[in-house]
Amino acid sequence: MPDIIQLLPDHVANQIAAGEVVQRPASVVKELLENAIDAGASSIKLIIKDAGKQLVQVIDNGKGMSQTDARLSFERHATSKITKAEDLFNLNTKGFRGEALASIAAIAHVDLKTKQENQELGTLIKIEGSTLVSQENISHPIGTSVAVKNLFYNIPARRNFLKSNSVETRHIVNEFQRVALAHPNISFSFYHNENEIYNLISSNLRQRIVAVFGKKTNEKLVPINESTDVLEISGFVAKPEYAKKKRGEQFFFVNDRFIKNAYLNHAVSSAFESLLSNGYHPTYFLFLKVPTKSIDINIHPTKTEIKFDDEKTLYAILRSTIKHSLGQYNVAPILDFNRSASFDTPYEFKDKKTVTPRVEVDPNFNPFKTEEQKSIRFPFKREKEATWESLYTGLDIKNIEVEVETVNTSLFNEEKTSTKTYQVHHKYIVSSIKSGIVYINQYLAHQRILYEEFLENITVKEATSQQLLFPLEISFNKSDIELIKEIKEDLESIGFVFDKILDDTIVIKGMPITIVESQISMIIEQLLEDIKNDIPNASFSQLDMMAKSLAKSLAIKTGSKLSLKEQEELVNKLFLCKQPDLSPFGKKTFVTINLDEIDKKFSN
């Protein structure tokens, strides 16, 4: 039998490695930004076009590469970060696997320009699908520029798995924010389709957080600082009143590397225990410094997961540190057994002697003396002592009629038994039908009603707006502002009226008549979150997503008590819908139980 095992060609092996390293354009952004930081850059520029599908370019002013290093950087497992296996457990750099550039070059067109300080000319290398196209000397400033064009051009199947531009852009913004927050001492700029999204100057951590997430963030932050033998913690958590329903603004950094860790996230959540409403999550920006030998960061290709030697100790320290800081800044109650300065004696009373207050007592006072005896001290006197019989003087007691309330001893109130609907546990509405009983989920049913109303208003009717007495200002970070600009016309089609849109604030002067002013901020945040997760490019589908998001935000929540009239109105409106049996998200709005099924329950 002939041999069947063979070595894969390099270009195929590179494409397989690319599947681990490059999942989407955001993966390329992460790898290139990390390489720029490892190169010692103090200024980094990120340029993307068409959500990174057409172009991802990172320009830095780092130390650059020699002509030989520039060519070797595209070989598999070529790196300057490690020389032996032991180095994997003592890492102080970002990229170390030596697969990033080789994997990227296998599935894109790459132009690399670089120059070192001691060189007169720089180097330009062009690679297409792992194949070297050209290499030449060029004039170039000190540093490196890597332009990745036409991502997945030779793997169309992978390209088809990419999401819409809005979703891919959001992933890129997330990666950019993580790197920018981890390195506030480095200047970053970010351009998308020639529009400036971020321009971050070198600053401290607090200033960097405010620059990324908006000016209003500053007042929300509570500083965290703790240093122990096994762990150093620094950063900020947001006050409980600014908690959000989404987990978006939660950042953990270990040795300046962004990580995801559910166990440590639970430690933070437990520190906020009893301070947050149900369903809300804390916002935090936490930096952990641990010995490099106590962690393993090579357990995942994207290097966002880390294995710790002693997670339980980290959990306890993190939880207690946050609890202490929340109490220290009067955000949460705390037991403090230290002596308070408020108990100190004021300086001007320091040498004064205390005087015992004098209490005068009347030795002749007798509380049991008669009224006449007491009148010696109290000059007024009652003319006659009243008795309880005097209250009824002149009344004919025999002729008094007494109303007696009739008590209904029947098991069910007749008025209630005539009711058509009942609310069960403030969650379901029960109503009888000819064939049995119907149980309606009030939240899902109201979603269906609102969804069809919004969709009709958007697509058929002209949206009706109500003017606000005072324009409403809402703060957002810059990436959210860009998204609002993209969907501004669609928001106006459902009734929102914008006065102006600034760099980190929107001013609304009109809103749909079905919305309460206090709900506007929550509704727009929820809408942006839904769009970030996934939204098709078709215009109607985008409007459909908005109708779904608004319906989900405004529907009657589980636990809301409904009057009899509200119950009947909801039931009637539901069965007037075009598709009453399903919510906008495909869940059942009601279930029916036939009389036969009920009879079987009693037949046993």
- pLDDT value, residue 414: 41
- pLDDT value, residue 486: 80
Please report which confidence band the pLDDT of residue 537 belongs to, taking 50, 70 and 90 as the band edges: very low
Spatial contact of 509 and 527, defined as CB atoms under 8 Å apart: no
Pick left, alpha or beta for residue 586 (phi over 0 → left; psi -120 to 50 → alpha; otherwise beta). Answer: left
Model confidence at 296: pLDDT above 60: yes
Residues 92-131: b if buried by 16+ CB within 10 A, e if exposed: eebbbbbbbbbbbbbbbbbbbbbbbeebeebbbbbbbbbe
Spatial contact of 200 and 189, defined as CB atoms under 8 Å apart: yes
DSSP letters spanning 339-362: PPGGGSPPGGGSSPPP-PPP----
Neighbours of 63 (CB within 10 A): 16
Pick left, alpha or beta for residue 364 (phi over 0 → left; psi -120 to 50 → alpha; otherwise beta). Answer: alpha
Model confidence at 457: pLDDT above 90: no
Phi, psi of 187 (to 5 degrees): -80, 135
Please report which confidence band the pLDDT of residue 122 belongs to, taking 50, 70 and 90 as the band edges: very high
Q: Give the 3-state DSSP-derived string for 59-99, with helices as H, strands as E and coil as C.
A: EECCCCCCHHHHHHCCCCCCCCCCCCHHHHHCCCCCCCCCC
CATH class name, domain 428-590: alpha beta
Partners of 425 in beta bridges: none
Please report which confidence band the pLDDT of residue 332 belongs to, taking 50, 70 and 90 as the band edges: low
- 278 compared with 223, residue with greater pLDDT: 223
Domain boundaries for CATH 3.30.230.10 within the chain: 209-328
Give, as one character, the DSSP assignment of residue 364: T
Q: Give the 3-state DSSP-derived string for 460-495, with helices as H, strands as E and coil as C.
A: CCCCCEEEEEEEEEEECCHHHHHHHHHCHHHHHHCC
Domain boundaries for CATH 3.30.1370.100 within the chain: 428-590
Phi, psi of 190 (to 5 degrees): -140, 125
Model confidence at 493: pLDDT above 90: no
Please report which confidence band the pLDDT of residue 85 belongs to, taking 50, 70 and 90 as the band edges: low
What integer is the mean pLDDT of 188-208? Answer: 91
Look at the chain and count its residues: 604
Rounded CA separation 568/418 (Å): 13
Domain boundaries for CATH 3.30.565.10 within the chain: 10-200
Rounded CA separation 348/262 (Å): 57
- pLDDT value, residue 424: 86
Helix (H) or strand (E) holding 581: none
- pLDDT value, residue 401: 58
CA of 529: how far to CAs of 167, 525, 584, in Å?
10, 6, 17
Over residues 408-441, the pLDDT tens digits come to 544 444 444 345 788 888 888 988 877 888 899 9
Report which of 135, 130, 110, 113 is spatially closest to residue 55, judged by C-alpha positions.
110
Mean model confidence pLDDT for the chain: 79
- 450 compared with 364, residue with greater pLDDT: 450
Report which of 379, 228, 408 is spatially closest to residue 318, judged by C-alpha positions.
228
CA of 82: how far to CAs of 90, 92, 96, 190, in Å?
9, 10, 7, 30
What integer is the mean pLDDT of 18-46? Answer: 87
Share of the chain above pLDDT 90, in %: 18
Over residues 539-560, the pLDDT tens digits come to 446 677 778 888 888 888 888 8
- 422 compared with 87, residue with greater pLDDT: 422
Q: Using alpha carbons only, give the angle 274, 278, 284 rounded to the nearest 5 degrees.
A: 70
Q: Give the 3-state DSSP-derived string for 305-326, with helices as H, strands as E and coil as C.
A: CCEECCHHHHHHHHHHHHHHHH
pTM of the full structure:
0.68
Please report which confidence band the pLDDT of residue 68 belongs to, taking 50, 70 and 90 as the band edges: confident
418: burial class by Cβ within 10 Å (0-12, 13-18, 19+)? exposed
**217 by DSSP, 3-state: which?**
helix
Report which of 447, 453, 457, 458 is spatially closest to residue 554, judged by C-alpha positions.
447
- 398 compared with 192, residue with greater pLDDT: 192
- pLDDT value, residue 553: 82
Q: Please, which contacts does 368-377 make with residues 24 or more away whose CB atoms are closer than 8 Å? A: none
For the domain bounded by 209-328, which CATH number is listed?
A: 3.30.230.10
- pLDDT value, residue 413: 44
How far separated are the first and last CA of the chain, in Å rounded?
Answer: 69
- pLDDT value, residue 177: 92
Spatial contact of 57 and 146, defined as CB atoms under 8 Å apart: yes
Q: CATH number of 10-200: 3.40.50.10900, 3.30.1490.20, 2.60.34.10, 3.30.565.10?
A: 3.30.565.10
Model confidence at 378: pLDDT above 50: no
**497 by DSSP, 3-state: which?**
strand
